Each structure stands twice: as structure tokens, then as C-alpha cells.
A and B are shown apart, each in its own frame.
Chain A
């Protein structure tokens, strides 16, 4: 998965550009051999490169949107898992809840890295990034909601009171029936 992503993401690993752009006909000292016309293939090549670059940018943008939407599937999956886990606190539900919390957080921490391959001057990554962040935040919210339904969030007065030590009494009294 990791490897495949890398290949697809960059499009190419490396490229050698054989075109020599510096050899414009006007600046050439050496005249072209008779019958040689460099202009037309050059022009042709340039247009094809441009086309290719456009395609790549398009493809990158498309991919970026796809990546940005990926958490949505995750979200649905998580929701299903949470529903399956139930509302009682046990190992399974706690595991799911914490993974539901952890995944968005780790994803949010690596937003830059996720969209790194699609970085392009022509590609506007703000939209996908925002969507990605929003979806992850949604996932986080889901996790927090789940945590709350499990009763693990200190949102009630009882959560704060239980740890308080009992109040000291000022007065002290003892006695009873006289010893006999």
C-alpha cells in the first residue's frame, strides 16, 4: 500500500529532459543543416509537455480531493464500529473509542505530509486540506461523543465532587450510656 501510493502519488520518480531550450534559432551561432527545421518538432514537444503537465496537475488535484475525502469512509466505518461496541465500558468499546480519538489526531498532525506529493504551483490544496481537516475533526468529535456516551467525560458535577475529601467537622462529641 505504501509503495503503491508512492508510485502513484508522484507520477514519476525521476525524468531527464532531453530538450534543449537554450537552442533558440535566433541565438544560434551555427546554422542548421540544410533541410533541418527544428522549430516544428520543438513546438510540438512543448505543447505536449504542457498538455502533460496540465494532466498531471489535474490528476494531482483530483488525487488530493480523493485523499481529502478518505477520512469520510473512515468516519462511517468508525461509526459502525462504535454502534457495534455498545454503550457499556469494557475493553472493546474503550479500544474503539480511543482509536477513534487517536486516528484523527494523528491524521491532523500529519496534514502537511499527506498532501506533500500533491504540492504543485498549479494545484490549489487549500480546499482538500480544509475538507481533510474538517472530516478529521468530525471523526474526533465522534470519538469525543462516544467517550461522553460511555460516561468517561467529566461533564457532571458528580465527576468533580467524588474526589473531594469530606468536610471536617468543627465540633466533636463522645459519650453514651455510662459504663457499668
Chain B
């Protein structure tokens, strides 16, 4: 019996050590993780729908992405993400095979291969001035047999060969203040017209030979008043401009080299025109669009330069550019709102009253107003013309509409996430569980055969794929209820468009989405922006009957003194519970460690006049807040002036209106950095919701070091003003990096350290009692990572075992930061090969599991780096005891193991942030990374020591147990028999 138990134990031990690999196997990809690709809000789209080949649309977006999308399903054929500063300003297709993009304010022109997105050539354009760049790809203008691309940027005109990107000729307009507004290339001629302004009233028109850039004609004329910038071209020789008061439209015709102005007052066209008008950018022939407040007016320009109102449409509207489809016929699309749905109208350019198409499109989700529309035509089987439209909505979603239906839709809002929080899923109640999909016996058998094949390594690649999809389907990870391990959660993200999405952590699908009303444009709030999303109510005690909710904080204008808006959203239903328009601004949002009786968290909102406002505005919350009143502080960092200030709460606000939820604050301390030598470039506070398991760090010699685990710790990095630019802008002698650890309650500097010859950018992460930061070392020409660990010496004398046994110590009693701190720090630096976009640290439920740093590399991947590698106690030759403790021998650089990339082969394009959330299972942490793409995975920094891995063979365990029981039984019978025989002997 004892033998059997021992065998079983040994077997269990063996089984538990079989799964040591941290990285995952190829067939495990997609089991725990998901990856979603987005492109962002589309700015411009060009269709490519020739009869041969796949129909596609090439788009450029506000996230600086160029993508080719499949018109059938909306999938991405290819995608190129440009840098954050490389804003795309124009896109077109040349010669039917190259995608031409103009970016970086018209200074970089690139050609991409249309089928696969490879870069073909790149040209740098330079010019003397600044102007809105224009890209023009004429269909059949040839210079020396080369198709050319016309680019006007920075006050000069470039003609570039579309085959190899060579600049054929360049025309600098001598007057630097000449601002090119339009470049016109009449079809079938070799001449170009370049029209622009000098100053605000002088109009210049050049006629240029397209072959060599020679100026054929040059005319200028001054307008008696001032002109506004926006120009609309209505025909090849007529422009429409607004005057600076916005009350008159000026028709400019430059026929035959003469420039004539024709002034028309808007009030003559529209009787009830109030407010200033704006010309909408449009490319329609013979007409233009003016917007006055909510009213959109279509105006035709007659041959005599007379203006004639075609139509007035109230409400939000989007107009496409003109599309020429057959024999010189032109069409344009118009999208307007009809109730909750949208109406797409396609009209002939020449005749306003002709409607080629009129469709009502049902909107299944709330998507807000229509922002842009692009149209394309196709020939139906009966040779009539059909139209499809690409519509961009207020929530940045991209819809393809054809035959009155939404063919596909992409939630591009998710490409620009502002803030992330998580929420629990509903508790599983009886009768609510999702019914399992029935499967036939044959399928069941087939599945098991496949699995058997897989284990015997006989499976073909198709079989492997089938096994994979079966695993994905059968897993419980996408259920809509809370699971025991806490792996299933709702990820609540707030996007730049003001839309809130709830993503299921199991599969990444959108559970619900809400266009937050208070973050939409309205009369009271003309340009609202979202600031963040916070957990508002997290019910634990009433988890069955209360729904959790989140708080969304926004601001009416981008300026700092704008009034704030709050919105509360139920995370189960996705409905807005209520919203508040604040009278004060929002400068800081401080979640307090206090909750009221229904588990709502208390928040302190600090406005720009440094008054603190308590939320929720209930007497109970106020009462709870008053009890902790004297212990609540806040600090503000002013990087421009190099000042960090601490504040305490004083008394109720003394304003005209008595507000008991408003408090004045008083200034308690300030730290001023000398601006001539130090400039704040990074501050990093500690995560307020982090759980620390123990305050003691046990060293190899059973010695105890007490961690300094105060939550009110702030890491500040300053650099020399000269070195605050890009890397290499300062010599090592004149650049330094100084790091500080501050106590934000008392303003005490706990630690100060300077790195000479180093500079930013600094990325930092702080957890428990350590901070890790990343910077550039100019002397070594390499990136470095440093770690600082901070220990509390004032508790170090708590070393008497008997006192501890009897509980005669002060280690658990509350501590005040006003007591004299006595800290020591340990630090070490290492070289690190990568430059970094973001650093995060894994967080677990109880803080027992060891930590990993998650480093978002410049290649948009996430690298998991063990914290043990950044341990300041590492030495060249650690003693045996230290080795046993897990201290690694010191190396000058941090090793990068290719297997420790969390994102394995994927890239999170445009990586912006990494969020870690603890699962209920202590060993596991959930990681969500966002940028243009989204990525989610589970990590177990110390491996899953508290659960069996997914590939654990329960069958093997069962068989072993059965075999052992049988063996025990047999040996028992045998031994009985033998004993009996012995007795008879």
C-alpha cells in the first residue's frame, strides 16, 4: 500500500514538472490570446475596381495607416502603419498599380505596390514655405513617356515620375508667402494652372507648361477685402472663396488669363442666414457646398458667375466627391439622416433633381452622425449602373453600403483607444446558463479520432487546423458569465470618438457598444473629448442583484478650463444610467480608497482653480469623506515650470453658491527644479489598486529586509534642458538624467540619483518597492534600464523571533508618512537592446506571484522580462545561498529570449499602452495591449502553479489511478494467499 502511494506521488510530481515551458507551442496560439487588426478613422478612400483582379479600396486613416481592404468582406489585404508624426495628407492610385501617398506635410511621397503593399519608391520633397499640400495624379499627363504625379507642397510645385519617383522638375514660387490653393490640370492639355493667395487678399494665377515647368502666363489681382482660406473649385476656371467675415461668397474666374471677382452676399441667397458660413471641401462640377450652422446649402455657379441655390438641407449631411462613370457623366452621393436610419442619394452632377439612386439603410447599432462618404460605381448584369458607398460614421466605423444594405462594417473606433478598465461578468444563475450545442455521435467520434491522430503525430496540417478550431469552439472561454478563475472579464474601452465598447476577454468580440451622449457634439459642448473611464461601482456583496458601472469623465473643449462632463454606464447592459454636466473643470481625477454602502467608489475631482469636488454627491459619501478628510492630500506636477506641489484639503468652498461637496485646498509643499539645469520629462506614480502580499523581503541568509511599500511614492525624471530633444541632440557632457523618488504627502525626497551622459525619453514602471526605468546612455550609445529598490530601515530592528511570535511588534500598525523615514536604496543598471514604447508590470490578485515586466518594444511587440533580471542584488559571483534564493549572476546587458515575446509572431501596430489585470487565480494575470491593433493574452509569470494546464491529460491520470487501484487489489489478494500458505507450512 505504502509503495503504491509512493509511486502515485512520484507520478504526480513527474506530471507536474512536465509543463515547464513559459512560451507557448505553435498549436496553442489563439487559445488564450486574441489579436484584432484595425486601421483607424478613414480620411480618404480610393476604389480600385477593375474588371480583373480583386475589388479593393485603398484607404488612408487618421492613425497614419494605409490599407487595402477587400470590398467583398472588408478584410485587410495589406496594411502599412506610418510613424506617429508622418501624417498622411493625400492618397491616390497611379497607373493602376501603385498607391501614391503624400505625408509629413507634403514632404514625403511614397509609392506602394497595389497588390501586396510593398514600398516601391520614396521621394523627399522640399520647398521654401508652408502650405496645405496637394496631391494630384492626372490620368493621362505624360512627361517623357512617364506618367507623372503633381505635388504642391511647401510653396513649390513638384512633378514626380510615377515609375521611379524621380523629381522631373520643381518650381519654387519665389515669393515665400505664396500659398498654393489649387492646382488645375485641364484634361487633354499640357498646361497646369496654379492658383494661390499671397496674404489674404491677393490672388495669383500661373499657367505652367507641364513638361518643363516653364511659366507661360502669370496674372495677379487684388481683392478689395480679405479672403478666408477655404477654396472650392467649381470648374476648371472658376473658384469660390469666402470673404473673411463669412457673409459673402466671391466667385473668382480666371478665364483667358484675366482674373475677375464676383461678389454675392449670402443673405441674398438665403433669407434666414444667421451666423458665419463655411465652405465644405468638395470636388463637384459646377456647384459647391456651404454650411451655415446646421444648414447645408448647395449652390450652383452659372456660366456668368451667378450663384443659384439648388437645395437647402437641415441636419448632418455628408457629400462625396464627383465620380465620373460613363461618357462624361458625373455622379455624387449625399448621405443624410432619416430618423435612426440613413438615406443614401446618388445624383447626377449636371442635374440636381435627377436621383440616380435613393436608398434607406437600416442602422443596426447606434453609430452617430455620418461624417464622410466615398462612392464607386459598378455595372450590373443588365448594363445599368449601380453604386456602392463607403460611409464613415461619427464613431469612426466604416460601412460599405450596396443595394440598400450594409455589406460589411468595421469598428474602426477601436483603433484609437483613450482609456481602458475592466468589469466582471454576471454571476451564473440557475437557468441562465448557455445551452450547449448538441453534437452527433459521429462528430464526437471524429473529433476524438482527430485528437488521437494529433497525439500520435499523424495529423496533417488540415487536421491540426481542425483540432485547433475544435479546441477553440469547445472551450468555455467565451461564455457570458463569471468563471471560477476570473479569466472571463469585460474589457471596457473608451475611444477617441466618444464611444464605449465592452469587449469579451475570451474572444475579443464586442459585447455592447455605446456612443456616450455627453461626449457628443452639442450646443452646450461644442468639441467634447473623453479623458478616462474609471470603475464606479463594483458590487461584491450584492453581486447578484446590483450591476457594476463605470464612470466616464470628459471635457467640453480641449482647453484645460473647459467644464467637465460625467457619465455613468451600466457594464452589463451597456446603457447610460445618467450623466452630469459639471460646472467646474477637471484637472485631476483621484479615486479614493473609500467606498459607500452600495460599494460605489468615492472620487475627488480637482478643478483648475484647485478646488476639490467629491463624487458621488450623496450625504453618505460626504460623511465617509469627512471622516478621512484630514488624511487626504493631492499633488500637482507642472512640467513647464518645473514645479511639483503638494496640497491638502482646507474647508468648504467660499463661493457665491454654497456647495457642501466642494472643498478649498491649501498648498503644503513644493519642489522647484532649476529650469536652467533640470526639466521634468517623466513622472510615474504607483498604481493605487496594487496588492502587496508581504512587506518583508527574505534574503538568502534568512535575513529580513523591510520593503518601503508606501503607495504615495512618485518617480520623477528630469533631464538637462539641452538634452530634452531627440537622441543625439546633445553631447554626453551637456546631458544628464536625474531621477527622484518623492513622498507625495510630505514632499520629502527619498532618493535622488543622476546618470551623467544620459537622456530621455524615459519610460518607467513602479510596483511594490521598486521602480524600473529605461533611458538612453549617450556615452555607451545604448539604451539602459535601471532598477531602484527602496527599503525601510526604521523597521529593520524587528528581528527578535520571540517578539514576533508573541506579537510584540509594530509591523502591522498603521504608519504615518510624517514619521521620520529611514530608507536605504539599492540600484543597478543594465544595457538593453531595444528602444521602448511602453512598460507595464504584471499584477496578480494577492501579489504573491513573482513579477514580470512587459516591455512594448519599438517593433510593436511585447516582451516579458523577469523581474529577477532587474534585481539590484545581482553580483558577478553570487554565493550558493544567493543562487538558491534565485539571484542571477550579473551581466552587463539584459538577455532577450525570443521565446519570451508575449505577442509571439504578432505585432500590435501603433502600440500605445499595456494594461494588466489580475485574474482570480493567483498565478495568472490578464494582459491587454492596445494601439491601432488590440491584443489580449493570459500570463503566468511563475507558471500556473495553482492549476493544471489546459493540456493536462486527465485520461492519463484516471488510467494511472485505475491501474494503481487494480494493482493494490491484486497484490493484496496475492499477499493474503501467500500468508495462508505460510500458515499451513
Contact = CB atoms under 8 A, between A and B. Distances in A.
A binds B: yes
A178 B815 contact: no
Contact of B636 (A88, A172, A175): A175
Interface stretch (A5-13, A15-23, A136-144, A152-160): A152-160
Interface string B634-646: 1111110000001
Interface in B571-623: 586-593, 604, 606, 608
Interface string A144-178: 00000001001111111111111111111111111
Interface string A37-61: 0000000000000000000000000
Interface string B487-498: 000000000000
B727 interface: no
Contacts, number: 139
A91 interface: yes
A91 B5 CA distance: 13
A107 to B, nearest CB: 18
A161 B638 CA distance: 40
A175 B709 contact: no
B695 A166 contact: yes
A126 interface: no
Interface stretch (B149-157, B254-262, B800-808): B800-808
Contacts of A160: 801, 804-805
Interface residues of B, number: 64
A180 interface: yes
Interface stretch (B57-65, B356-364, B696-704): B696-704
Contact of A156 (B604, B638, B646, B702): B702
B692 interface: yes
B798 A157 contact: yes
Given A161-B798, A161-B804, A178-B560, A167 B811 contact: yes
Contacts of B646: 173
A155 B701 CA distance: 12
A179 interface: yes
Given A158-B704, A178-B588, A173 B744 contact: yes
Contacts of B693: 166
Contact of A171 (B631, B685, B800): B631
Given A158-B696, A176-B685, A178-B560, A167 B813 contact: yes
Contact of B9 (A91, A161, A176): A91
Contacts of B592: 172, 174
A171 B695 contact: no
A71 B805 CA distance: 35
A158 B698 contact: yes
Contacts of B638: 177-178
A85 to B, nearest CB: 15
B590 A175 contact: yes
B817 A174 contact: no
Contacts of A165: 812
A176 B811 contact: no
A154 to B, nearest CB: 8
B591 A174 contact: yes
B698 A167 contact: no
B593 A172 contact: yes
A88 B883 CA distance: 13
A173 B703 CA distance: 32
Contacts of A174: 588, 590-592, 604, 634-635, 685, 688
Contact of B639 (A156, A175, A177): A177
Contacts of B815: 167-170
B712 A169 contact: yes
Nearest to B699: A158
B324 to A, nearest CB: 46
B632 interface: yes
Nearest to B684: A176
A50 to B, nearest CB: 37
A121 B639 CA distance: 97
B814 A157 contact: no
B588 A167 contact: no
B812 A167 contact: yes
Contacts of B702: 151, 156-158
Contacts of B816: 169-171
B560 A164 contact: no
A170 B694 contact: no
Contacts of B558: 180
B817 A175 contact: no
Nearest to A157: B799
A175 B558 CA distance: 19
A176 B685 CA distance: 8
B637 A176 contact: yes
Interface in B797-841: 798-801, 804-805, 811-818
Contacts of B589: 179
A179 B817 contact: no
Contacts of A168: 814-815
A164 B13 contact: no
B276 interface: no
Contacts of A91: 9-10, 13
A166 to B, nearest CB: 4
A163 B805 CA distance: 12
B950 to A, nearest CB: 26
B683 to A, nearest CB: 6
Given A91-B13, A161-B804, A167 B814 contact: yes
A179 B638 CA distance: 11
Contact of B710 (A154, A169, A179): A169
B801 A164 contact: no
B963 to A, nearest CB: 21
B745 interface: yes
B606 A157 contact: no
B709 A166 contact: yes
A111 B817 CA distance: 60
Given A164-B811, A170-B817, A174-B688, A179 B628 contact: no
Give the most central of A88, A165, A168, A172: most B CB within 10 Å: A172
A156 B10 CA distance: 31
Contact of B804 (A157, A171, A177): A157
B322 interface: no
A156 B801 contact: yes
A171 B560 contact: no
Given A157-B799, A157-B801, A164-B696, A171 B712 contact: yes
A172 B696 CA distance: 22
A139 B597 CA distance: 59
B251 to A, nearest CB: 43
Interface string B775-801: 000000000000000000000001111
A159 B694 CA distance: 12
Contact of B800 (A151, A157, A163, A166): A157
B531 interface: yes
Interface in B361-411: none
Nearest to B795: A167
A178 B698 CA distance: 39
A23 B506 CA distance: 101
B712 A178 contact: no
B711 interface: yes
Nearest to A168: B814
Contacts of A163: 694
B631 A172 contact: yes
Contact of A173 (B712, B798, B818): B712
25 contacts: A91-B10, A154-B801, A157-B800, A157-B801, A159-B801, A161-B696, A161-B798, A161-B804, A164-B696, A164-B812, A166-B694, A167-B695, A167-B812, A169-B815, A169-B816, A169-B817, A171-B745, A171-B818, A172-B631, A172-B633, A174-B634, A174-B635, A175-B588, A175-B635, A179-B531
Interface of A: 88, 91, 151, 154-180
Pairs A-B, 8 closest by C-beta atoms: A174-B590, A160-B804, A156-B702, A173-B633, A158-B698, A161-B696, A175-B634, A178-B587
Interface of B: 9-10, 13, 531-532, 555, 558, 560, 586-593, 604, 606, 608, 628, 631-639, 646-647, 683, 685, 688, 692-696, 698, 702-704, 709-712, 744-745, 798-801, 804-805, 811-818, 884
